[in-house]
Amino acid sequence: MVEPAAVSMAERRSPAAAFAARFEAASAGGGLRLAEIPFLSQINLRVDPKSPAAERIGTAMGVPLPMEPGTAAGGGDLEVLWLGPDEWLVVGPDGAAPGLVERLAEAAAGEHVSVVDVSAQRTALVVAGERARDVLAHGCVLDLHPRVFGPGRVAQTTLARAGVVLVAGEDGFRLLVRSSFAAYVAEWLLDASVEYVTSPAGEADPA
Amino acid sequence: MLLIPCPWCGPRDEAEFHYGGQAHVAYPEDPAALSDEEWARYLFFRDNPKGLFAERWSHTAGCRRWFNAVRDTATNEIHAVYRAGEPRPVIA
Amino acid sequence: MSPETQGRRTPGADLPDHPDRLWRSAEPKRAYDVVIVGGGGHGLATAYYLAKNHGITNVAVLERGWLAGGNMARNTTIIRSNYLWDESAGIYEHALKLWEGLEEDLGYPLLFSQRGVLNLAHSLQDVRDSVRRVNANRLNGVDAEWLTPEQVKEVCPIVDISPGVRYPVLGGTYQPRAGIAKHDYVAWGYAKAAADLGVDMIEHCEVTGLDVRDGRVTGVQTTRGPIAAGKVALAAAGHSSVVAGYAGVSLPLQSHPLQALVSELLEPVHPTVVMSNAVHVYVSQAHKGELVMGAGIDAANSYRQRGAFHIIERQMSAALELFPVFARAHVLRTWGGVVDVTPDASPVVGLTPVEDLYVNCGWGTGGFKATPGVGWCYAHTVATGEPHPLNAPFSLDRFTTGKLVDEHGAAAVAH
Amino acid sequence: MSERSERTGGAAVQPYRREGATGKTLRFRFDGREYAGLEGDTLASALLANGVRAVASSIKLGRPRGVYAAGSEEPNALVQIEEPFPEPMLTATTVELYDGLVATGLPGQGRLADRPDPARYDAVHAHCDVLVVGAGPAGIAAAGVAARAGARVILADERPEPGGSLLGTAETLDGAPGREWAAGEAAALAALPEVRVLRRTTVLGHYDDNYVIAVERRTNHLGAQAPADVARERVWRIRARRVVLATGGHERFVAFAGNDLPGVMLAGAARTYANHYRVLPGSRAVVFTTNDSAYAAALDLARAGVEIAAIADVRHAPGETWVARCAERGIEVLTGHVVTAVKGEGEVSSVEVAPRPEAQGSGGQAREIPADLLLVSGGWTPVVHLFSQAGGTLRYDEELGAFTPGETRQAVEAAGFARGVRTLRECLEDGAEAGRRALAGAGLTAPPEIDVPAAEEEPAAAPAEHVWLVESGDYGTHFVDLQRDVTVAEVLRATGAGLSSVEHVKRYTTAGTAHDQGKTSGLLTGGVVAHALGVDVAELGTTTFRAPYTPVSFAALAGRDRGPLHDPVRVTALHEWHVARGALFENVGQWKRPWYYPQQGEGPGEDMEAAVLRECRAAREDVAAMDASTLGKIDVVGPDAAVLLDRLYTNMMSTLKVGSIRYGVMCRPDGMVFDDGTVIRLADDRFLVTTTTGNAAAVLDWMEEWLQTEWPDLRVHCTSVTEQWATVALVGPRSREVLARLAPGLAVDNDSFPFMTWRDAEVAGIEARVCRISFSGELAYEINVSSWYGLALWEAVMASGEVTPYGTETMHVLRAEKGFPIVGQDTDGTVTPQDLGMEWIVSKKKADFVGKRSFARADTSRPDRKHLVGLLPEDPGVLLPEGAHLVDTSALPEPPVPTLGFVTSSYRSAALGRTFALALVSGGRERIGERLYAPVGADLVPVTVTSHVLYDPEGARRDG
């Protein structure tokens, strides 16, 4: 099946599009930045990490599959996230999915590999800025200390009551959220941010 | 809230996991060959020890892998985790 | 004290007095006609009815800790009989009828209060399931009615029935004869009555083995020595698997912690018992004024009488969805019990493959309300060697035939 | 009395406030009277400053009760906050005073507000190397060692300021007041980047694997000034590698006659009021003690201006230094004495002391000493609650007369007095050592030297004597649990009734179950029970320590999981359109699905019945569309994909051709229907499986479980694509025409695009996968597009205005008319495919599939199992309630009446022009044509049993 983005003239709408203005308002204080990155290309890849196909796929992408649990590997405009011992999420820019699917399938060369375009399955939300960790700590049980979960770390976990793929970057975090949960997570983030965006200095200690 | 060491993701909170009951209960080779009693045993009867228990967990909110653990049901202490298909380790 | 509080009735003043004489822990004799393993509500009730209905008084109740210190002391005391299946309704309704005369029968104040139980429905499927249960109950002679949200509000004015909540109240079933009782008093009432009829209450006596010879049980090994027995009746709740295992009997049970909690004493606000499956919590307000609440079991097997805290947090958010006025009430004390759960959420009561060894287990979270009913039927089973008609459907072999009594999902919260 | 201020000026008079107390004056109201207090006061200290003795009344006996302690262990002074917002039952000793506070004393029961709480609450997760509970000397020392070695440290204390016991004792460290040392240390620690100092934060519970729950009270002390956007209380969910419990101790009292009268107070508490709050709890005091600690209290109070009339010490040999110091101040010490009575109307006016009756040759006489204050110390109990909760064992310390921490398997240890360490200097050293061990335990290195501040030299301690009660002929006012009004008399009654377990006595008397959970009285109760039974306290043991350590509000624990955030609301890509169109929604699992779309226009809106009949008619006679995006979708890929599906579905999937679609049912191993849906074959090694909306996650988990745990040899990968796709069901005789217009490139005629096949096509300019499947029996298509384009597709479908949108209710009617069951509505976990009349979907060819073996069991092959059948009420206008049961008698006999079955689905049908129902009926297929009765209210509604397929049984409509 041909990737819709390649041919369609119809208008796309991203899962958190309705939150753009509220995200912007919440980001005005400077301590926190909330935003959606819509329409990223996302390919779910399942392959035996020890198979020749896994290596060929890495070569084809120009990014070797990260084998250490909970890590990401990047190269060019691609980022490969470890999701499980034989599962990765390849994330690329808008429009890259059809080409990626083709490249990965080619690299698989008949071996047992699953390549599934899941670009619209999840959307990406940015939680960045000084208070990003504080906001996430309200709902994320992982230790987000920079020494523990710094740039290059990835985790599938839960934020409040929704499953997320949490990716740590140089400037804060990206949450890959199932599209149907995007509105819930957006509402939750905005609610969790109240203390951090209304106090001008970002100082929430009331005492 | 137990801290369960997922063999892949490391220690994570219990709430990220799905419990799967007793480990090492294989689906019968040939269910049709079993008596009703034997089939009932497979369907409904599981060990329920007070003490060490080899049990299954799935890291559903994480890497979605099933694995096994040996836990003491009297103290909740997890003595070992191991991957599906591996033999139950001997706990002294 | 303010002038208006000074004249107020003191809320703890009207609790009944206990009898001056309860029971005296007995020393184990060398042999009994019947040894009951487990001095909880079920064991004590069984002992009482063995003595009273069947004239069997050479009976010992063995308790590894203090009498009725297990789930009997840890449950949320809800009594109801509005179960879905005919088999369940049969035994629970038998129990409820006995509850209605129990204070008089035992000569003990049990604070049995028929304040009704509401089971709330929050989805269209909940409504279907609830109406199905109400109609099944009525055919079984169990009082039950379906209430609209407005009628729910009339029965319990503090329930939030506004449509804006995440899972609005679409109605509820109501059993007016249901209610609560004081769990400890029930246990002590049975213990005293049974002791008065000659039953030995043996505390701090843990069963460590069952003697089986030629397929027949002959006695028990305990931390206080061996005791010979004509018959052995297990009533060990969460520890049933362990005890039955001594005779090589395996049971389709898994033991899980179940938590409950109480608030501080509060002026009366909650006149009935409310249970909700989708918004998972159940609540009543006990006689002195504390809110008594419970929720679900921990997912993993455990014999630790301690659950995970996130379950309590979830329970609180559920409680506030239904009862916003509870916001500033305080959790005073939480605790846990170990419940034995069967694959079909119905109990196992009856014979075992070992002759003269009987089993009563698998009540999961629903054992307290059944106490008189199961005590009655189990005593009959033990005394006659044949299941009472009301517990016959709960035999161990139903798992082989497949004739389960599946109360999952069908009976709202199975408590 | 020299220091007592005599400021005048109406409510500002605080007659028991010590001279020199500074701070902002705060106004408050208690029991209807206006008072003033000072910033830094608790409600208790402010009331004492104003000479208010009786604060509450007791629950059973209605006796007046006053402030007994100075912290969260308070057993007596229960208050209700009235303003700024009603809050039931707090201890006056922990309510920080603020301007505008309005409170009343409680007679045992609190009162809930009758309006919603406007405050916010939240929770936060935290991680640390070392959690130190308690910011007293030991805790600060422990935290200091750990923090300075670079560890991530959390130091939590329930009070507004650090210092713990130092706040009350006025001891000095390095020559400065201990309180200043604590404040300085805490500030220095808080400035370290890896350290968090939590004030007003009570650690409530210690769970498995060092999961520790604390609650921080963030704005309570601000009263009406609390900012609305700041969470009032915050739950801290802390995962700590090591925990140091520096929780200090609670002073106990002694059971003697009248020990509950206002004016009786714990000696240490009185000392705290005098030193810390600068309040004198009375003018003239008698001290009653079993140990040395009360001497320090007496001397501090004497220095503050309280006249100490006498110290009655049960011992014959108190600490010599203390006695000497008392002599210096002219305080009389009565050794071998006890308090035998407390007299006064509503508060203490005199205290009767006498030599201990069992004491030999003490020589003294009983005498009555005028006093308005009686300070009691029955010894100190280490706070071992959290240690015990963590699974630690306790052991009885003879010298202390209390239980102290023993063994534990968790990474937790107690430090300072919490483990029985006595003196300030030892506590500081012990805390530092605990900090050092915690560091090592967390894999970090301790700094080479530990600086511990110098404490004053303390007098050599004389052993305490553990006296639980003053013997008497009448134990009617010897209280052991003040809050529950439990006296020694009641304990004796319980033991007399035969009870021998401390748990039984607790339940019989209710001792230890009140708001304070027996913090000051638990051990005393045990002591009295032991006395009554003639056994050792050690042997008797304690009752279980249960969380929370102090009461915690429901709202704090509920946090932000309330209202719309109570549970996620899942929505499809088309949701905004449904909302704009005025759809009503049904909760299906977490999803919001359009239920029906009432026609909007002039006048009153359409009701559900009219809307659904209209929507049904459109689907059967014209063309209608539904958002079917919520169905679960799983991509199943691999050489063995067909093998997996053959094992999980009851029917054969491996024979499905690429390009085709097959309906399938999954059972659990017990043979009961678990889920159903369609399977489309995309390629030889690739299928797309759809599931019911509610079971999407469960089915994926199910597949993974079998693959990973039973059949790891199968080469199959499953990936959820539920939200990758938006799905629009286009239904009705005109659906082909509409599709043809939207997809000009797609051959839509029946031969080119037959039933149960799929095609890729461009629909409305969007790449789509179109499936010809039907859940209504009509000609129908399901159009799947990337969910980014879902809204665009739907708008294109709706653009012409000729397609009627319909919701789940109409979907239910349409499928029910065709006899298609809905898993979860027409099944309840006890229904087999055969019960549903789907014998045809259960493969006879396959050797095995999940559930097959169970169909051969006795019960699953019974002829009288419940079958899915149709029901036609004899009156075609009567709609049976779903959930109605069925009987075969026209007059109901006495209960119990066995049921034959029940109605699972019931609707008004536009197509049939009447009502109908589906039901599960015992032996139902053999009853077709029979008349049964459904009891509905008082009526028995006659119905005729029919096939469950009521509309178009020959399937003529599906091809249009």
Question: 3-state SS of D712-755?
Answer: CCCCCEEEECCCCEEEEEEECCCHHHHHHHHCCCCCCCCCCCCC
pLDDT score for C3: 42
Domain-embedded: residue C37: yes
Q: Which of D565, D719, D766 sits opposite A10 (nearest CB)?
A: D766
Cis peptide before D84 (omega within 30 of 0): yes
C31 Cβ contact list (under 8 Å, min separation 6): C219, C227, C228, C229
A157 touches chain B (CB under 8 A): yes
pLDDT of A203 > 80? The answer is no
Interface test with B, best of C255, C303, C344 (most B CBs within 10 A): C303
Q: Which helix (H) or strand (E) holds D868?
A: strand D866-873
Residue identified by tokens 């039955």 is C244
Residues from chain A contacting residue D219 (CB–CB below 8 Å) = 206
Same domain? C260 vs C203: no
> What does the pLDDT average to over D548-553?
98
Domains, in order of start, for chain B: 3-27+40-83 (3.30.2270.10)
- CB pair distance less than 8 Å for D209 and B1: yes
Same domain? C385 vs C395: yes
ipTM, two decimals, is 0.96
- Binding-face residues of C in 349-408 toward D, CB within 8 A: 400-404, 406, 408
C7 touches chain D (CB under 8 A): no
SS3 B13: strand
Residues from chain A contacting residue B64 (CB–CB below 8 Å) = 83-84, 87, 156
Under 8 Å between Cβ of A95 and A6: yes
- What's the pLDDT band for C363 if we cut at 50, 70, 90? very high
- CB pair distance less than 8 Å for B48 and C399: no
3-state helix, strand, coil in chain D (%, to 5): 25, 30, 45
Q: Which tokens belong to D891?
A: 């007059």
SS3 C240: helix
Please state which of the ranges A43-57, C396-410, D649-663 shows the lowest mean pLDDT.
Answer: C396-410
Residues from chain D contacting residue C122 (CB–CB below 8 Å) = 587
- What's the pLDDT band for C279 if we cut at 50, 70, 90? confident
Q: How far is CA C316 from CA A35, C261, D641, D774, in A?
A: 32, 10, 44, 44
Distance CA B13, CA D608 (A): 45
Distance CA C59, CA C124 (A): 51
pLDDT of C411 > 70? The answer is no
Under 8 Å between Cβ of C113 and C179: yes
Same domain? C259 vs C331: yes
Burial of D9 (0-12, 13-18, 19+ CB in 10 A): exposed
Domain-embedded: residue C285: yes
Rg (CA), chain D: 38
pLDDT in tens, B73-82: 999 999 999 9
Under 8 Å between Cβ of C360 and C46: yes
pLDDT score for D65: 97
B8 touches chain C (CB under 8 A): no
| Type of residue found at D132 | V
Q: Which of B9, B15, B64 sits opposite A70 (nearest CB)?
A: B9
D3 versus D245: which is more confidently predicted? D245
pLDDT of D1 > 80? The answer is no
SS3 C147: strand
Q: Which of D125, D127, D568 sits opposite A181 (nearest CB)?
A: D568
Residues from chain D contacting residue B27 (CB–CB below 8 Å) = 710
By C-alpha distance, the chain D residue nearest B24 is: D709
pLDDT of D6 > 50? The answer is no
Q: How many other β-carbons are positioned within 10 Å of the β-carbon of residue D799?
A: 11
- CB pair distance less than 8 Å for D498 and C25: yes
Domain-embedded: residue C244: yes
pLDDT score for C13: 64
Chain C: give the shortest CA distance to residue B11, in Å.
16
Q: Residue D808: which of D669, D611, D941 has the closest Cα?
A: D611
Domain-embedded: residue C276: yes
pLDDT of D922 > 60? The answer is yes
Under 8 Å between Cβ of D158 and D199: no
B61 touches chain C (CB under 8 A): no
**Final residue in a domain of this structure, among C339, C357, C375:** C339
Q: How far is CA D299 from CA D277, D377, D849, in A?
A: 17, 14, 84
- CB pair distance less than 8 Å for C308 and B2: yes
- What's the pLDDT band for D12 if we cut at 50, 70, 90? low
Under 8 Å between Cβ of D516 and D73: yes
Helix ranges restricted to H, chain A: 4-7, 20-27, 52-61, 97-108, 132-137, 182-192, 194-198
Helix ranges restricted to H, D343-406: 385-389
A200 touches chain B (CB under 8 A): no
Q: Which of C3, C314, C330 sits opposite D551 (nearest CB)?
A: C330
- CB pair distance less than 8 Å for C69 and D109: no
Torsion of CA D537, D543, D545, D546, to 10 degrees: -170
Domain count, chain C: 2
pLDDT in tens, A88-125: 999 999 999 999 999 999 999 989 999 999 999 999 99
Domain-embedded: residue C360: yes
Task: Identify the chains in contact with B, defined as 3+ C-beta pairs within 8 A.
Answer: A, C, D
Same domain? C137 vs C265: yes
Q: Residue D544: which of B75, C61, C73 has the closest Cα?
A: C73
pLDDT of A5 > 80? The answer is no
pLDDT score for D805: 98
Under 8 Å between Cβ of D849 and D650: yes
pLDDT in tens, C110-159: 999 999 999 999 999 999 999 999 999 999 999 999 999 999 999 999 99
Under 8 Å between Cβ of D146 and D195: no
Q: State if pTM tops 0.90.
A: yes
pLDDT score for C9: 56
**HSE-CB for D26 with a 13 A CA cutoff:** 27
- What's the pLDDT band for D446 if we cut at 50, 70, 90? confident
In chain A, count of helices (H) and strands (E)? 7, 10
Q: Which of B1, B44, B76 sits opposite C343 (nearest CB)?
A: B44
Residues from chain D contacting residue A13 (CB–CB below 8 Å) = 573, 788, 790-792
By C-alpha distance, the chain D residue nearest C25 is: D498
Domain-embedded: residue C98: no
- Binding-face residues of C in 24-43 toward D, CB within 8 A: 24-25
D624 Cβ contact list (under 8 Å, min separation 6): D615, D618, D730, D731, D732, D803, D804, D805, D806, D810
By C-alpha distance, the chain D residue nearest A135 is: D124
pLDDT in tens, A121-133: 999 999 999 999 9
Domains, in order of start, for chain D: 25-105 (3.10.20.440), 121-249+382-442 (3.50.50.60), 284-378+462-539 (3.50.50.60), 622-629+725-814 (3.30.1360.120), 632-720 (3.30.70.1400), 857-959 (2.40.30.110)
pLDDT in tens, B15-64: 999 999 999 999 999 999 999 999 999 999 999 999 999 999 999 999 99
Distance CA D717, CA A18 (A): 34
- CB pair distance less than 8 Å for D848 and B32: yes
- What's the pLDDT band for C10 if we cut at 50, 70, 90? low
> What does the pLDDT average to over A80-84?
98
**Final residue in a domain of this structure, among C300, C324, C339:** C339
B83 touches chain C (CB under 8 A): no
Residue identified by tokens 């020559």 is D175
The CATH number of residue C139's host domain is 3.30.9.10
pLDDT score for C66: 95
pLDDT of D958 > 60? The answer is yes
pLDDT of C7 > 50? The answer is no
Rg (CA), chain C: 21
> What does the pLDDT average to over A158-183?
97
Q: How many other β-carbons are positioned within 10 Å of the β-carbon of residue D609?
A: 13
Torsion of CA D279, D285, D288, D289, to 10 degrees: 50
Same domain? C333 vs C260: yes
pLDDT score for D113: 96
Q: Which of B15, B16, B65 sits opposite A84 (nearest CB)?
A: B65
pLDDT score for A204: 45
Q: Torsions phi, psi of C412, nearest 5?
A: 55, -145
Residues from chain B contacting residue A83 (CB–CB below 8 Å) = 63-64
Domains, in order of start, for chain A: 17-194 (3.30.1360.120)
> What does the pLDDT average to over D183-211?
97
Chain A: give the shortest CA distance to residue D421, in Å.
33
Q: Torsions phi, psi of C244, nearest 5?
A: -60, -30
- CB pair distance less than 8 Å for D561 and A137: no
SS3 C67: coil
By C-alpha distance, the chain A residue nearest B61 is: A157
Q: Which tokens belong to D886?
A: 């069925």
pLDDT of A205 > 60? The answer is no
- CB pair distance less than 8 Å for D767 and A3: yes
Q: Which of B21, B44, B50 sits opposite C303 (nearest CB)?
A: B50
- Residues in B lying within 8 Å of D, measured between beta carbons: 1-3, 13, 18, 20, 26-28, 30-32, 34, 36, 39, 42-43, 56, 58, 60, 64-66, 75-77, 84-85
Q: How many other β-carbons are positioned within 10 Å of the β-carbon of residue D325?
A: 17
C170 touches chain D (CB under 8 A): no
- CB pair distance less than 8 Å for B58 and D208: no
- CB pair distance less than 8 Å for B39 and D670: no
D869 bridge partner residues: D919
The end-to-end CA distance of chain C, in Å, is 41
pLDDT score for D362: 53
pLDDT of A75 > 90? The answer is no
Domain-embedded: residue C153: yes
Same domain? C258 vs C315: yes
Same domain? C329 vs C375: no
Q: How far is CA D948 from CA D773, D819, D838, D865, D930, in A?
A: 20, 5, 11, 16, 14
pLDDT of D3 > 60? The answer is no
pLDDT score for C11: 63
**Final residue in a domain of this structure, among C305, C339, C373:** C339
Chain D: give the shortest CA distance to residue A74, in Å.
23
B67 touches chain C (CB under 8 A): no
- CB pair distance less than 8 Å for B1 and C251: no
Same domain? C394 vs C258: no
> Which of A198-202, D185-189, D438-442: highest mean pLDDT?
D185-189
Strand D307-313 and strand D333-335: pairing? parallel
> What does the pLDDT average to over D93-111?
96
Domain-embedded: residue C95: no
Same domain? C172 vs C268: yes
pLDDT in tens, D781-790: 999 999 999 9
Same domain? C294 vs C229: no
pLDDT of A202 > 80? The answer is no
The end-to-end CA distance of chain A, in Å, is 59
Same domain? C392 vs C276: no
Chain A: give the shortest CA distance to residue D472, in Å.
51
Same domain? C261 vs C406: no
pLDDT of D61 > 80? The answer is yes
pLDDT in tens, D107-150: 989 999 999 999 999 999 999 999 999 999 999 999 999 999 99
pLDDT score for C12: 62
> What does the pLDDT average to over D637-643?
98
How much of chain A, in percent, has pLDDT values that exceed 70? 91
- CB pair distance less than 8 Å for D60 and C12: yes
Q: Which of D830, D858, D935 sits opposite C401 (nearest CB)?
A: D858
D328 Cβ contact list (under 8 Å, min separation 6): none
A26 Cβ contact list (under 8 Å, min separation 6): A32, A34, A190, A193, A197
∠ CA(A67), CA(A73), CA(A78), 5° rounding?
130
Q: How many other β-carbons are positioned within 10 Å of the β-carbon of residue D396?
A: 17
pLDDT of D654 > 90? The answer is yes
Residues from chain A contacting residue B8 (CB–CB below 8 Å) = 69, 84-85
The CATH number of residue C221's host domain is 3.50.50.60
Under 8 Å between Cβ of C307 and C298: yes
Interface test with B, best of A148, A156, A164 (most B CBs within 10 A): A156
- Residues in B lying within 8 Å of A, measured between beta carbons: 8-10, 12-13, 15-16, 61-65
By C-alpha distance, the chain A residue nearest B10 is: A69
Under 8 Å between Cβ of C59 and C200: yes
Distance CA D690, CA D675 (A): 10
Q: Which domain holds residue C202?
A: 31-77+184-252+344-411
pLDDT of D797 > 90? The answer is yes
